[in-house]
Structure 1
C-alpha cells in the first residue's frame, strides 16, 4: 500500500481534506487558494487525505476503482506547490469520531491547524454529519481561518472526479483529460502473453496488475511516462479481448511504435490520450493487419502532437 505512517512534522499548517482522486482543475483551484493562505499566514500547506478511503472500510462493495495510486497522487499534488501530502491511516476508531472530535483531536491538537480551505460540499465526521456550516462553527471557536472554494466548471460542466470516472468508463479519455491537470495514466508490470502481436509484426507489452480504472475496451493513442528512458515514446494501446482469434479475455496490450527491445518484468506507466476506435472482429488476418497499420499511424499522429 502506497502510504506512510501519519505524523506531524511542523508546528502549525493550513490544510485541505479530501481524496483528491484524479487530481483535476477543481483541485488545482482549491490548492491555489490554500497556497495563498499558506504564504499569508507563513505556515506550510498540507493536503490531508486517507489511506485507504473511508468507504473501503464502511462499504467495500461500493468502492470504485481509483483514478490515481497514492504515489502518483502525491506527485501531482506536490507539482502544484503543496508543501506536504499526508495520508492518514483510516481505522474504525477514526470513523467513529464526531465532527468535533475529529476537528479538535486531529486538526487542532496533532496538526495545529491555522487555516482550512474546502469545497462547498465538504462532509466529515461519523456518518458524514458534519458539513461546511459545522466546519465554520468549529473554526470560529478555535480561531482557525476558513475559506470555501467555488466549484469549477468547464464548458458548463462541473469539474469532478465523478465526471472524469464516467468519461473514462465510456472511453472518452480526451474529454476526461481536459479536466485533469495531466493526462490520465495507468501503470502495470509487463508480463508474458501469447506473443500473437509479435507473430503479426506488431509486438506488444502486456500490462498486468493495473490498480486504477481501465478505460472502456478500444484502441487508444498513448505515450510512455515510465520507465524514464522511454518517456514520451508513442504507443498504440489495445484494451479488451481479441475476438478475431476467438479470445474473450480482456487484456491491456501496448505496442511501442518503432521500439525494439525487452520490456518483460519492467514497470510501465502510460499516458492515455485519445480513443481511436472500438474493439471489433475482423474477417481475415489481412484485414486486421491493414487496420493495425491505420491504428498505428493515427496513434503516432496523436501522441507526437
Structure 2
C-alpha cells in the first residue's frame, strides 16, 4: 500500500522539521482526495509522470480532519473513504507517499505564502507540483493556482495544472458522489470513483429476526464513512481478506416496524460462522430494490429468496479479475 506519513504540525514553528527524508525532492499534489475518484486519479497519474521526469517520489498530501470540520463543524461532510482506504486506492496510480497533515487552527491561519514555505519548501522540499485549476490554499483560500505558479517559478519548482475529468458529461466531485450514494445509485457512484464504494464496521448483536426466518445477517455499527441510502443491494462482504457474495439491507425494517434509517445488515452467501466483534468490509455493486413493507413474515421470506437469486445472478456476471 502507498506509505502513509503523518505531519503532526505544519506551522511557522516547524519550518525545516521534515519528518521523512524519503519525501524530499518529490512531486506533490495537495487535496482532500476523498473517494479517490476519477478526477483525483487523473491528477495522481500526472503527478506520477512528473515525478518520473524529475526522478523523485510521487506524493499526495491531505489534511485530516477536513478543514471544514474545524471551521464549520456543523457543515462538515461525511467522508467517503478513510485515510487508509485512500492510500489503498492510490497505490495503483504510483503514489509513493500519502502525507497526512494534522488540521489545526494554526495551520488554517497560515497565509498562502506562509503555507507554501512551511509545507512545500521546508517540510516536503518539493521539486514539482501538480494541482487542479480550482486549487486554493492559505488562510481564507487566499492563494490560487496563479499565485502557486508564481511561487513555484521563484523557487525553481516545476508546476503543472491537471486536466479536469468528467463522467457522462458531468464534472466529477466528492459531493456528486455523496448525492448518488444517498439516492442508492451505488453503480453510478462506482463509475465516478472507478471502484465500488466501501464501508467497514464492527459486527454487533441485532434482534436475530433474520436468523429466525432463515436469513442470518451481520449487523454493522461504528461505520465512519457515507452509508448509501435505504435499499437492498448486491455486493461483497470481506472478512480477513476473504470475499463473499452478499446481500445488504440498509434502512428500517417496515415489515416488523423496527430499525433505524441507516441500519446496515449483511447476509453473506454460502457462509456460516460467528462474526460478532469482528470488522467486516462491505463493497456495493448495485441496488436490487427499495425498501418494501410486506404483509407477513412468509411474504418477506419469499421475497428474500428472490433477492438472493438476483444477487447471485448479478454478481456472477461480474468480470473475473
TM interval, short-chain normalised = over 0.9
2:14 is aligned to: none
- After superposing on structure 2, the runs of 4+ consecutive aligned residues of structure 1 that deviate more than 3 Å are none
User: What do the CA deviations read for 1:64-84 (whole angstroms, capped 9, x no partner)?
Assistant: 110001111111112321111
2:273 is aligned to: 261
Report how far residue 9 of structure 1 moved: 2.3
Q: Equivalences for 1:1-305 in 2 at 5 Å?
A: 5-6=6-7, 7-10=19-22, 11-228=24-241, 230-231=242-243, 233-250=244-261, 251-305=263-317
5+ residue gaps, structure 1, are none
| Alignment partners' CA distance in 1, 2:118 and 2:268 | 51
Q: Which moved more, 1:242-251 or 1:291-300?
A: 242-251
Secondary structure of the residue aligned to 1:143 is coil
Report how far residue 20 of structure 1 moved: 0.2
User: What do the CA deviations read for 1:109-129 (whole angstroms, capped 9, x no partner)?
Assistant: 121111110111101100112
Report how far residue 4 of structure 1 moved: 5.6
Tell whether the 8 Å contact from 2:235 to 2:245 is kept in structure 1 after alignment.
Answer: yes
Report how far residue 249 of structure 1 moved: 2.2
TM normalised by structure 2 equals 0.91
Tell whether the 8 Å contact from 1:226 to 1:270 is kept in structure 2 after alignment.
Answer: no
User: What do the CA deviations read for 1:121-151 (whole angstroms, capped 9, x no partner)?
Assistant: 1011001121111111111111111110111
| Alignment partners' CA distance in 2, 1:4 and 1:262 | 36
Secondary structure of the residue aligned to 2:44 is helix
- Provide the aligned C-alpha RMSD in A: 1.2
| Alignment partners' CA distance in 1, 2:105 and 2:287 | 41
Report how far residue 181 of structure 1 moved: 2.8
Tell whether the 8 Å contact from 1:22 to 1:67 is kept in structure 2 after alignment.
Answer: yes
- Count of residues in Structure 1 that have an aligned counterpart in Structure 2: 301
Report how far residue 244 of structure 1 moved: 0.5
Report how far residue 225 of structure 1 moved: 3.0
User: What do the CA deviations read for 1:156-206 (whole angstroms, capped 9, x no partner)?
Assistant: 111221111110011000000011132110000100111000000000000
| Alignment partners' CA distance in 2, 1:120 and 1:263 | 46
Tell whether the 8 Å contact from 1:234 to 1:304 is kept in structure 2 after alignment.
Answer: no
Report how far residue 31 of structure 1 moved: 1.0
User: What do the CA deviations read for 1:235-277 (whole angstroms, capped 9, x no partner)?
Assistant: 0100001111111423100000121111111100011011111
